[in-house]
Structure 1
Amino acid sequence: MGDVPVGGGVLVDMPGDGQLLLVRPSEGVVKAFNPACPHQGTTVNPPTGGEITCPTHRSGFDPATGAVRSGPAPKGLTEVAVVVTRTDVVLA
């Protein structure tokens, strides 16, 4: 995650498990979310300008918690438990 700036994120492919959205909301903190928007299942975009957004109907989510901030999404993004090592981020 060292190449992901604080406030940024990246979509990663998990073999056999689909995708995860990994975000770095602050220094030393890594969060993982299921990137499917709860509204219609569209894959959300990594955070820019302090918000994760859905490209379909513009729902906005907090990158630190996944909570919905705006738009038609009925709930926030589902957090996925991960463990961060010196070189990897793995499912917990």
Structure 2
Amino acid sequence: MTGTQETARAMTRRTVVAAVGGAGLTVALTACGGSDSGAAAPEQPPAAGGGSTPGGGTGGAAGKVLAKTADIPEGGGKVFGDVVVTQPTAGEFKAFSSKCTHQGCAVKDVSNGTINCPCHNSMFDATDGSVKGGPATMPLPAAQIVVEGDSIKLA
């Protein structure tokens, strides 16, 4: 192989590696909702009356059983697709959209009284969905649920 061919081959490898690295960065930023500037996605306030909002996650699945009451720990909660269900005090169940109001990432868990988003560490109160730590500035929209016997269902 001549020196010119080796240089062209090395240049091609560098180009491919750089392109693959750039594509990986694009995927990572897209999965995270874009930049951290806060300008990428407008925040939406919850609907009046605490009901489910567009994008709030109930999407016509009314009556669907989400969980048994025994599945939701007192003082904690669990995420079920588009909805997070909490039990702030014994026998009191609340539900909110699982979509973080910062940039739309899915919240992942409920611990120490907060609903937590892993993308940028926003935290929401498990009792009322209010912001406990940013970068989110808007509360999680409430979702409507009903408790029938030991079942928690979408309203």
- Match runs of 1:1-12 below 5 Å: 1-12=69-80
Quote the residue 1:51 is aligned against.
114
In structure 1, the partner of 2:138 is 75
Ranges of 4+ aligned residues in structure 1 off by more than 4 Å: none
Residue of 84, 89, 92 corresponding to 2:152 = 89
Q: Which structure carries more strand by proportion?
A: 1
| Aligned counterparts, 1:24-39, within 5 A | 24-39=87-102
> Which residue is equivalent to 1:41?
104
Structure 1 residue runs without a partner (length 5+) = 14-18
Structure 2 residue runs of 5 or longer lacking an equivalent are 1-68
Q: Which residue of 1 aligns with 2:47?
A: none
C-alpha contact 1:23 1:46 (8 A) present in aligned 2: no
CA contact (8 A) 1:6 1:26 kept: yes
Q: 1:32, 1:82 within 8 Å by CA — same for their partners in 2?
A: yes
> Any idea what the Cα deviations from partners look like across 1:29-53, whole Å, max 9, x if unmatched?
1111110000010111221112111
The normalised TM-score by structure 1 is: 0.86
Name the SS of the counterpart of 1:2 in structure 2.
helix
2:75 alignment partner, SS class: coil
CA contact (8 A) 1:47 1:63 kept: yes
Count of aligned pairs: 87
Partner residue of 2:32?
Answer: none
Q: Report which of the two structures shows the higher radius of gyration computed on alpha carbons.
A: 2
SS at match of 1:21: strand
Q: Which has the higher helix share?
A: 2
User: Cα deviations across residues 59-89 of structure 1 (Å, max 9, x unaligned)?
Assistant: 1110000001111112010101111011321
